[in-house]
Amino acid sequence: MEAVTAIRRMGGLGTRAALIQATSRAEVDRALRAEAVVRVGHGRYALAEVDAAPTTAHAMNAVLCLTSAALHHEWEVKALPEKPHVLVPRKRNVPRRWRDAVVLHRRDLEPDEIDGPATSRELTLVQCLRLLPYDEALVIADSALRAGEVATLRRAAMLVRGRGQTKAREVAQRASAESANAFESVTRAICHSVPGLDVEPQVVISTPHCWARPDLVDRDRRIVVECESYEWHGNRAGFRKDVRRYTLLTSEGWTVLRFTWEDVMFRADWVREVLIRTLAGDTQTLVGRLDARAA
């Protein structure tokens, strides 16, 4: 179903308006009737597998943690976990049938570290910042900021000690509520791995001839990175608007790079290589200009 694909690309959660924009009203309603997508709140939807995770945790007297807890708190993730991540006390014996059904983690919890069927927001962020790869942690941190958890993220980063501390502080420092979705967050994470590239999300570029708000912008290098998804630009009017915007940006001296969801999620090394080559070319051009002026 198109609606299932769309909400999966949104990080497992999405609003009805966003799903309709990405597909159609009829497609969203069809997914709801088939129970592939379920309503989890007013105007909020999730994949059925996400909605079922709390039931699994409750049945085995555990709590959701890591990406499964993030989803419970309505934060987007880079990719849905194949099995729910659940947390049990260190010495508890877990029957084989449950061990096969979940990704099991062990830790003794204090009462204030539990929020319903999941770890608290603060502990969820602590664990995600410490244990997840940089790009996955950044997706969740960005989403938490969009949900208003500024102080919670700051506290969580300070609570991480020892292993993972440096990465946790970096993720928290670079996280941004301006990043629109998981796709943009993962793209920005790749950009962070490129020395010399400094991108900001959703920067307005305004000139007498062009107005644009690209996904990611390096102001100094005049580089624009766009996260292209057919679901959002699949109609003729949207396509025409995009082409005009990219043409005007190029005419204004900006380098425009466009990456698809598939390349960002599954070919990150290739995306990084393209960014490095672009940056190298930009540096050579800049040096050439300086040499010409000196001559």
According to the model, what pLDDT value does residue 289 have?
A: 46
According to the model, what pLDDT value does residue 124 have?
A: 98
According to the model, what pLDDT value does residue 232 have?
A: 54
Distance CA 33, CA 231 (A): 21
Distance CA 252, CA 59 (A): 59
Token code pair at residue 269 = 């090394």
Report whether 202 contacts 142 (CB < 8 A).
no
12: left (phi > 0), else alpha (psi -120 to 50), else beta?
Answer: left
Residues 220 and 270 in one domain: yes
Residues 96 and 192 in one domain: no
Q: Are strands 103-106 and 200-201 parallel, antiparallel or unpaired?
A: unpaired
CATH code of residue 226 = 3.40.960.10
Residues 132 and 208 in one domain: no
Residue 13: band (very low, low, confident or very high) from pLDDT cuts 50, 70, 90: confident
- pLDDT above 80: residue 161: yes
Residue 192 lies in a domain: yes
Residues 34 and 76 in one domain: no
Q: For residue range 50-72, list pLDDT tens digits in order.
A: 888 998 898 899 999 999 999 99
Q: For residue range 85-98, list pLDDT tens digits in order.
A: 999 999 999 999 89
Residues 203 and 285 in one domain: yes
DSSP string, 162-223: STTHHHHHHHHHH--TT--SHHHHHHHHHHHTSTT---EES--EE-SS-EE--SEEETTTTE
Residue 79 lies in a domain: yes
Residue 53 lies in a domain: no
According to the model, what pLDDT value does residue 167 have?
A: 96
Residue 54 lies in a domain: no
Residue 290: band (very low, low, confident or very high) from pLDDT cuts 50, 70, 90: very low
Token code pair at residue 281 = 């070319």
Token code pair at residue 111 = 């009462």
Residue 116 lies in a domain: yes
Residue 26 lies in a domain: yes
According to the model, what pLDDT value does residue 160 have?
A: 96
Phi, psi of 189 (to 5 degrees): -60, -40
What is the DSSP code (8-state) at residue 12? Answer: S
Residues 249 and 285 in one domain: yes
Question: Can you state the angle between helices 165-174 and 150-159, rounded to 10 degrees?
Answer: 160
Residues 172 and 67 in one domain: yes
How many structural domains compose the chain? Answer: 3
How many CB atoms within 10 Å of residue 96?
A: 7
According to the model, what pLDDT value does residue 29 have?
A: 92
Token code pair at residue 88 = 């049990």
Average pLDDT score over residue span 130-142: 98
Residues 187 and 167 in one domain: no
Range of the domain at 194: 183-294
Residue 52 lies in a domain: no
Residues 77 and 168 in one domain: yes
- pLDDT above 90: residue 173: yes
Distance CA 261, CA 182 (A): 10
Residues 172 and 187 in one domain: no
| Strand ranges inside the chain, DSSP E | 13-15, 37-41, 44-47, 63-64, 85-88, 103-106, 114-115, 118-119, 200-201, 205-206, 211-212, 216-218, 223-228, 255-260
Distance CA 218, CA 55 (A): 44
Residues 170 and 151 in one domain: yes
Domain boundary among 177, 209, 241: 177
